[in-house]
Amino acid sequence: MKELRQTWRWFGPDDPVTLQDIRQTGAVGIVTALHQVPHGEVWTYEDIIQRKNLIESYGLTWDVVESVTIHEEIKTKSGDYSNWIEKYKESLRNLAKAGLRVITYNFMPVNDWTRTQLDYTMPDGSKALYFNWIDLAVFDIFILQRKNARQSYSNEIVLQAEIKFKQYTQEELDQLSGVVMFGIPGEKKITVESMREKLSRYDNIKQEDLRNNLVYFLQQITPLCDELNLDLAIHPDDPPCDILGLPRIVKNIEDLEFIVNAVPNKSNGICFCTGSLGANPDNNLPEMVKKLGTRIHFTHLRNVKKDPEGNFYEDDHLGGDNDMYAVLKELLIIQQNVPNQISFRPDHGHQMIDDLKKVTNPGYSCIGRLRGLAEIRGLQLGILRSL
């Protein structure tokens, strides 16, 4: 019986979790990117090989690229988008030349994953990532001051946001802004002013427009990916809902099936993130895995706990609302029917034990993910024995 491949996300030489640390976790592969390269610019073969050689010098392999970031002009299909697509193709050629195979990306406008708190205290004293609609409304309405922002929220949320805004100190408001706009570790931070400018680019772009732009982008790159034997894996929206007035197009099974059917090339596939998709109470994750089948090229395994208002925190990997046993069982059934190992990584983890005293990348401290990896490895072994 074939198991899923155990990998670990690493943010490069400046990551507080070192490659030597990762060797001790049980992971065998690395998931990383050249975060120092500005969005849209070419990843050179020399830089790719340098990173690959560094990883291999520690007895690990570079299994998945996460992510080759897509320039905003591609998403909006504006400006110099054709040139950005050509640069993207050049990066893909260089990655294939270096022996990389799985390429993760996302099509989220402006902001990557979004949270409103990075240190939500769990009952055991560990710290988790948290998303709260009222705090997002505080940022959106009173800090960002987006036009017509109030219309994006219920009357109750707007009322609670007004109350909370008056209670927050300036320091707390600044902290909230930093969390919402945190982005990917290792990449340049944005300001409120730059976020306003970026949001303005989407004033006339609706969900259907963004979806069409994604299809166009995939039509341009998938023939090359097929030729180079690359597997693309689009990451779902996180959270899987419209935020800050921006359209979201990778939220549920309808979106995912549209993406793989609209561009049926073999390279076009999914990064199945149980945490992102699991934040939508309408998503049945085991059924989604069944329907997507071999179009799943990579997977993130983590869990969330939701409340009736749609807020959520990131729970233990085997806790939360998502049935990790059922999801992993379906993934392992798929694994038996495909030639390449499907990589998974323990996505996010609580800041806990000694890591509480350290500076860590939010969601990417070592010990919380080590616990998650150990739990998933054990669950995987049990499922494989039962199969």
**Type of residue numbered 191:** T
Q: Show pLDDT as tens, one digit a residue, over the chain (387 residues).
A: 999 999 999 999 999 999 999 999 999 999 999 999 999 999 999 999 999 999 999 999 999 999 999 999 999 999 999 999 999 999 999 999 999 999 999 999 998 899 999 999 999 999 999 999 999 999 999 999 999 999 999 999 999 999 999 999 999 999 999 999 988 877 777 899 999 999 999 999 999 999 999 999 999 999 999 999 999 999 999 999 999 999 999 999 999 999 999 999 999 999 999 999 999 999 999 999 999 999 999 999 999 999 999 999 999 999 999 999 999 999 999 999 999 999 999 999 999 999 999 999 999 999 999 999 999 999 999 999 998
The residues pairing with 274 across neighbouring beta strands, listed in sequence order, are: none
The residues that are catalytic are 235, 273, 300, 347-348, 364
- First-residue to last-residue Cα distance in the chain: 8
Tokens standing for residue 327: 């999801």
Alpha-carbon span 296 to 311, nearest angstrom: 27
- Residues 148 and 45 reside in one and the same domain: no
Cβ pair 369, 346 in contact under 8 A:
yes
Instruction: Round to whole Å and give the CA distance between 379 and 375.
Output: 6
**What's the alpha-carbon Rg for the chain, to the nearest Å?**
20
Same domain assignment for residues 51 and 160: no
Give the side-chain half-sphere CA count within 13 A for 350.
23
Angle between helices 253-262 and 207-228 (to 10 degrees): 50
Token reading at 29: 């592969």
Asked if the bond preceding 239 is cis, omega within 30° of 0, the reply is yes
The residue type found at 163 is I
Spatial contact of 369 and 349, defined as CB atoms under 8 Å apart: yes
Q: Are residues 269 and 358 in the same domain?
A: yes
Answer with the one of 144, 177, 196 that is the final residue of a domain. Answer: 196
Q: Are 254 and 125 contained in the same domain?
A: no
Residue 293 shares a structural domain with residue 354: yes
Contacts of 287 (CB under 8 A, 6+ apart): 253
The CA distance from 387 to 383, in Å, is 6
Strand-pair category, 343-346 with 312-315:
unpaired
DSSP annotation of 138 reads: I
139 with 250, same domain?
Answer: no
Looking at residue 116, its pLDDT comes to: 98
Whether residue 256 sits in one domain with residue 355: yes
**Do 210 and 333 fall into the same domain?**
yes
Q: Compute the distance between CA of residue 223 and CA of residue 74 in angstroms, rounded to an integer.
A: 18
Q: Tokens 């982005």 appear where?
A: 183
Q: Is 364 helix (H, G, I), strand (E, B) or coil?
A: coil
Cβ atoms of 9 and 184 within 8 Å: the answer is no
Domain count of the fold of the chain: 2
Residue 289, judged by CB atoms within 10 A of its CB (0-12, 13-18, 19+), counts as: buried
* Residue where the block lists tokens 């992971």: 27
Cα–Cα distance, 7 to 30 (Å, whole number) = 5
- Is 161 a member of any domain? yes
Q: What is the CATH number of the domain that holds 272?
A: 3.20.20.150
Angstrom distance (rounded) from CA 37 to CA 287: 37
- Asked, for residue 312, whether it belongs to a domain, the answer is no
Task: Identify whether 311 is part of a domain.
Answer: no
Separation of alpha carbons 42 and 33, rounded Å? 12
Q: Are residues 333 and 247 in the same domain?
A: yes
* Those residues with Cβ within 8 angstroms of residue 77's Cβ, 6 or more apart along the chain or in another chain: 209, 212, 213, 216
Query: Nearest Cα to 277, choosing from 313, 241, 316, 244?
Result: 241
> Quick one: pLDDT at residue 184?
80
User: Are residue 276 and residue 254 in the same domain, yes or no?
Assistant: yes
For residues 251 and 259, give the distance between their C-alpha atoms in angstroms, rounded to a whole number: 11
| Of 123, 28, 17, the residue nearest 345 (C-alpha) | 28
277 forms beta bridges with: none
Instruction: List the domain range (segments joined by +) for residue 374.
Output: 5-111+205-306+317-386
Helix axes 324-335, 366-386, angle to 10 degrees: 60
Residue at which a domain ends, from 145, 172, 196? 196
Q: What is the pLDDT of residue 190?
A: 84
Is pTM, for the whole model, over 0.85? yes
